[in-house]
Amino acid sequence: SDMRHKVDARMIGKIPFLKGNRKQSWVLAAGGAHNFLYEETYQLIANGITTRMEQRGAKTLAITSVLTNEGKSNCLLNLAYSIAKSQKKVLVIDGDFRNPSLGKLLNVGEQYDQALSQTIRRGELVPELLYTAPGSSISYLVNRQKHGGSSKSLSDGRFEMLLEAAKQRFDYILVDTGPTS
């Protein structure tokens, strides 16, 4: 009820706290040694989100938070994993231009260091710049370093062109944005 009254939003799930290995910077809801409740909660939330998106004809979802280090990237990666388990093709875009983190979390190779910046500059989706997780239907478009022309990239229409091209190839596009504060 707090979510409805204070935030004017409907809560679709409550993710249980799960301690991860200190060496691991994020926890994947992938079963195994992890908590079943954690994995099942993400699956239920992902199903709720995709159902609503399909009802609205939407393919793109932006994930944000108020402040940094609130777990939005972890949440986004787990949602992508949960959605992909239903045989859906998912594109994850690290849209936090000032503090990109997904490339580091996923430990992608150097060839993907400026993949998002290059793709935006070209205004089209370039398959060679997509990092695809082994054995999954999740592709990632990341930067490991700050993207200097973020305001221009968003206002000149090239990012929008990138999203439109991605909608043709992927079932869902999840964008990890910067904090809103």
Assigned token pair, 164: 């439109």
| Pairwise pLDDT comparison (59 vs 24), residue with the higher score | 59
pLDDT at 23: 47
Q: What is the reported pLDDT for 178?
A: 84
Determine the number of helices (DSSP H) and then strands (DSSP E) in the chain: 7, 5
Mean pLDDT, rounded, of the chain: 81
Q: Which residue has the tokens 């910046």?
A: 117
pLDDT tens by residue, 101-158: 888 888 888 888 888 888 888 878 888 899 987 788 899 999 877 766 656 666 788 8
Please give the share of the chain, as a percent, with pLDDT higher than 90.
Answer: 31
| pLDDT for the residue numbered 26 | 54
More confident position, 61 or 134 = 61
Q: Would you state the pLDDT for residue 7?
A: 64
For residue 172, the SS3 value is strand
Q: What pLDDT was estimated at residue 22?
A: 45
108 in Cβ contact with 60 (< 8 Å)? no
160 within 8 A of 129, measured Cβ to Cβ? no
The whole-number average pLDDT for the span 35-58 is 89
